[in-house]
Amino acid sequence: MKKLLIVILTAANLICGLVIFNHYHTQKLMAESLAALQQATSLKLKDEEFQLVYGEGSWDCSQLLEVYSGDEVIFDCPQIDLTQLGDHVITITATSTDEYGQVFSISDSRTVRVIDGTPPFIQFKKEGVDMIAGGEFDPGHNLLAVNDDVDGTLTFADKLLPGTYIVSSNVNNLKVGTYKVTVEAMDRQGNRESLSYNVIVRSASNYRNPAYKGEKLTKKRGTINGPSGKETYYNLKMDGVIRIMRRMGNNDPYWIREDGCKMLGDYIMVAANLDIRPRGTLVLTSLGMGIVCDTGAFAHRNVYQLDLAVDW
């Protein structure tokens, strides 16, 4: 019995020794395998700054890799949407697995920025504007669009701020010359654009009828026979006459042409017989097209006579 017990204990000690040996041997092998994994797995990302311009499509984050090795490379975000402005933190992991199920991983991150580097787009209806002195002029009338790829349509403002545009003009629509209208735009990212067009203001004498070869009314020649009948002139304040025309719905600007004719928009202000020619009637004069705005005692003596308003 004693011998059997000794045999059993000896066998148990051998088995225990073998188990311990196998355990430590396996641990050694696993440690060596893990060291080999570490040697076989590497990851290096590019150190440069990545700034991408806003636009359609996407950007492949694999372009961040410089050197890598291992069983697998994992991206937490494989693609960057180029329509999403701002910073995008991209984490990349290189990983390997051995026969024992041990995993070794290396991770690193880079920040990729999507920026709006494109200025707004300004578009005019025409490259330039050609007008007659005295005509109404709106600096924004020739503007077709002010858009931005990111922000869409920008807003008109008195002061240039992010997301807005302003219009500046030195046009004097009553004086012959060449002028400029400038549109300045700024998107919400601070990108700016400026574009101008020229405005040529030509003499209102272009409204005179070139086919009329007869006498023309002057200060020295105070009475003539014009294309529509007898013509004379008068020089009085037109405030009351203009108020009457405004009440009738005429909002054309009042101004004085370079030859002294008092104008309402494109037409010379004239007095006439209102029974024959009511206010607002257009009538040809020796100095151009006129508009009936006033009347006087003369109109009873000669119902077809015209009295032109001048600054002589």
- Please report the pLDDT score of residue 28 as a whole number: 84
- Please report the pLDDT score of residue 13 as a whole number: 61
Count CB atoms within 10 A of the CB of residue 178: 11
CB 267 within 8 Å of CB 257: no
Query: Domains along the chain?
Result: 42-115 (2.60.40), 121-202 (2.60.40.10), 208-309 (no CATH)
- Please report the pLDDT score of residue 100 as a whole number: 86
Count CB atoms within 10 A of the CB of residue 122: 21
Mean pLDDT by 10 residues, the chain (312 residues): 65 64 73 86 92 90 93 94 93 92 93 92 94 78 94 95 96 87 95 96 64 89 94 96 94 91 93 94 91 94 96 95
pLDDT in tens, 128-175: 998 877 667 899 999 999 999 889 999 999 999 999 999 999 998 877
- Please report the pLDDT score of residue 236 as a whole number: 96
- Please report the pLDDT score of residue 52 as a whole number: 92
CB 143 within 8 Å of CB 167: yes
pTM surpassing 0.85?
no
- Please report the pLDDT score of residue 6 as a whole number: 67
- Please report the pLDDT score of residue 266 as a whole number: 83
What 3 state SS string does 157-213 have? CCCCCCCEEEEEECCCCCCCEEEEEEEEEECCCCCEEEEEEEEEEECHHHHCCCCCC
CB neighbour list of residue 77: distance below 8 Å, 6 or more residues apart: 61, 88, 90, 91
- Please report the pLDDT score of residue 24 as a whole number: 73
Quote the distance between the C-alpha of residue 128 and its chain's center: 19
CB 150 within 8 Å of CB 188: yes
CB 233 within 8 Å of CB 222: yes
Q: For tokens 């355990």, what's the residue?
A: 23
Q: Which residue type is seen at 245? A: M
The token duo for 231 is 């013509």
Rounded distance between C-alpha atoms, residue 277 and residue 107, angstroms: 92
Could you give the count of Cα atoms lying within 13 Å of 212 in the half-sphere of its Cβ? 18
